[in-house]
Amino acid sequence: MGVREANKQDKRERLSRAARELFSQQGFDATTMRQIAERAGIGVGTIFLYARDKQGLLFLLFSDAVLDVQRRAFESLPQGDKAGMRSPSQSVLLEQLVHVFSSFYRYYESDRRLSRLFIKELLFLDSDPAGPQPNAHANANASGEAGQPGRAGASNSRVSDAETHVGLTLEFIGRLSGLVQQAQVRGELRADFDPLLATMNFFATYFLTLVGLLDPIAGAQQDAELATQRLRLALQLQISGLRSEAGPALSTSPSEAPRRRRPAARSAAERKRRTR
């Protein structure tokens, strides 16, 4: 890595660290770009080389880490007899989905407050990449750094944060859909449904459980392990409906199976009446 690239990487790391600290300490809304620049030891204008606004900074914080979580999860996927199957009735796909999704639960749990901000702010990103923030170039010029419009992070030539975020999410869903297709090929699931449609249902279940985990009230008594247990039961129910007719049904452990009420014993008088 050359000196210029090393310097750029150093500024990016300082910027990310400063933004993370300030967002965690005083909240997203209360933090200003100038405060972040001062904490990072860079000019305000330099920020716009890396992000077009505070939402972009928040995305910058999570994008690399989330991609790393995804990469490590897919590299260590359970495969067939290595998935810890106790019986043929268990689903390899179920173990793979739980493995991937639980990796994200553990990551987001490590800093719930900031993760909550990330999910909240980036769920509906502004898709307008039309230009920089107001006074972005003026701030850049005043700071003596990177005042050229063509180099600003919010310039028209760059893809918006929303487009990047949506692209990464769709790529993730595509990889999950590949796992569903593999389950269809090996006969674990039926072949008469769209794997992408099923994947969207799995992802929706994962995301709803994630929201519950990060919720300051509902998630107060919940951790990543409990969220994973709940996710497993929900996915197990979904996958059971997609099983191949020739394949065995998914097994349910005694602790997970609903208990059936035994019919009350009939009295001798009732039995005598029924025999008349």
Q: Is 221 part of a structural domain of the chain?
A: yes
Q: Is 90 part of a structural domain of the chain?
A: yes
Q: Is 63 part of a structural domain of the chain?
A: no
- 39/164 same-domain check: no
Dist CA 119 CA 132 (whole Å) = 23
Q: Is 264 part of a structural domain of the chain?
A: no
Q: Is 250 part of a structural domain of the chain?
A: no
Comparing C-alpha atoms, which of 90, 64, 70 is closest to residue 183?
A: 90
Whether 249 contacts 240, CB under 8 Å: yes
- 176/235 same-domain check: yes
Q: What is the DSSP letter of 248?
A: P
- Here the CATH number for the domain that contains residue 30 is 1.10.10.60
- Here the CATH number for the domain that contains residue 224 is 1.10.357
- 45/104 same-domain check: no
- 14/106 same-domain check: no
Dist CA 112 CA 264 (whole Å) = 49
- 8/89 same-domain check: no
Contacts of 125 (CB under 8 A, 6+ apart): 55, 59, 160, 161, 162, 165
- 195/177 same-domain check: yes
Q: What pTM does this model have?
A: 0.73
pLDDT in tens, 74-103: 999 998 655 555 454 579 999 999 999 999
Dist CA 78 CA 99 (whole Å) = 8
Dist CA 121 CA 114 (whole Å) = 10
- 181/233 same-domain check: yes
Q: Number of structural domains, the chain?
A: 2
DSSP H helical ranges for the chain: 3-26, 33-40, 44-47, 54-75, 92-109, 112-123, 136-143, 161-185, 195-214, 224-240, 268-275
- 164/152 same-domain check: no
Q: Is 68 part of a structural domain of the chain?
A: no
The last residue of a domain, from among 136, 156, 176: 156
Dist CA 195 CA 153 (whole Å) = 37
- 38/135 same-domain check: yes
Whether 156 contacts 142, CB under 8 Å: no
Q: Give the pLDDT score at 273.
A: 57
Cα radius of gyration (the chain): 26
Q: Is 199 part of a structural domain of the chain?
A: yes
Whether 108 contacts 115, CB under 8 Å: yes
- 116/214 same-domain check: yes
Q: Is 272 part of a structural domain of the chain?
A: no
- 190/203 same-domain check: yes
- 99/168 same-domain check: yes
Whether 111 contacts 24, CB under 8 Å: yes
Whether 195 contacts 175, CB under 8 Å: no
Ranges under pLDDT 50 in the chain = 86, 88, 129-157, 246-249, 252-262
Print the domain residue range for 209.
77-125+160-245
